Amino acid sequence: MKKLDEDGRPAIEGDLARLVAPSVAKMLSNQGPRGAFIASPDFAEYRYCWLRDGSFTAYALDCAGEHGSSRAFHEWSAAAIEGIAPVIARALDRRAAGEPIDPARMPPARFDLSGRPVGDDWPNFQVDGYGTWLWSLQQHLERSGEKALPSRLARSVDSVGRYLVEFGTSPCYDVWEESGDSVHTATLGCVAAGLRAAASMLGAPELAERAASLQAFVLDQGRRVGRFAKSDHSQQVDAALLWLCEPFHLVPPDEPAFVETVRAIAAELDLEGGTRRYPTDTYYGGGAWPVLTASLGLYYARAGDITAAERCLDWVAERVDDHGRLAEQFGGEGRDPEHYREWLARWGPPAADLVWSHAMYVVLATELGPPPAAPDVTTKTEPIGSQQ
């Protein structure tokens, strides 16, 4: 049984603390002075803060007891969202006027470390990060013992809640910045979890009703076809669907349609023990992601299969390099050399250190509790300022 602290939350100490310390240090070293988390310090295309990645990172730090750093991220996020309040308001006005969605005019998926939207040609219209932020913020309030939503954050929470009510079920780019003409099941899960969190934080029953309706819709869709699908345009399985169960708790682990989804993920997306994104993935050869392998481990842990969960944890831990780095993905160069070389020519080597990878490793490790023995790991980290 896990030892609990004085507030009834799992205590992080001893072997467990030593196990997660290198990854916690990595997350902290990649947090900017205002609270944002850079997605990767060594990959030019990722030198920004995504609401999605940052929200999972803040959640991981709350799991590890680093509530101050998580709080700084949420303060930064609220300020960044306050800064784009006019963009959200204009989008809502266009919606009310019946105008079609123009993805280029929608709120951004990522920001620079100062909180300004990033202006480039990357896909912009993604709603999953906004839902994930609301969910992560509520988790922070509960795990840190703050409970009540600070008044200084309420306006941004309300703004995002209203935005998700109107656009949360619209076709948009998925969590992988792809397929902008589809409604993605994993995105719907992020939105439902976010609306449920916003309803609780704001005391807004109308948001709770919307969240329940969306949750029921997602569950009905999965039950009708026997498992959950990637999107309304694709019946493929996507490992991001794991989040419907863990950590969002929108479906129970023994839901037959979800059990079948996990079976499909394990059968179709396994790569040497790790978990790939989806069957036709070609990004850097479509390797296995620590983020998703840890997500599968979280499902197994909740379902009571601790052996399988620990196997996922070990797979991730074995891929931390001698500098304490944990890459975005592994094995793509061997699985699909042609596409790996294509991305290598376009952007150079893939991210050798992804902050989100560390985050999900910490979440899984803290969920499982202390191992029988912790390895002696020396981690080299540099402050984010030295990586700019």
Question: 42, 45, 177, 270: which one is catalytic?
Answer: 177
DSSP letters for 33-60: TTS-B-S-SS-GGG-SEEHHHHHHHHHH
195/281 Cα distance (integer angstroms): 30
CA 301 to chain centre: 18
Identify the active-site residue in 174, 310, 336, 367. Answer: 174
Helix (H) or strand (E) holding 301: helix 290-303
Based on the residue annotation, tell me whether 102 is a catalytic residue of this protein: no
Q: What is the distance between the alpha carbons of residues 123 and 186, in angstroms, rounded to a whole number? A: 17
Neighbours of 9 (CB within 10 A): 16
φ, ψ dihedrals at 184, nearest 5°: -100, 135
Angle, CA of 284, 286 and 287, to the nearest 5°: 95
Judge whether 227 and 257 are in contact, CB under 8 Å. yes
**281, 328, 336, 353: which is the annotated catalytic residue?**
328
How far apart are the two ends of the chain, measured CA to CA in Å?
Answer: 43
328 is catalytic: yes
**Catalytically annotated residues:** 174, 177, 328
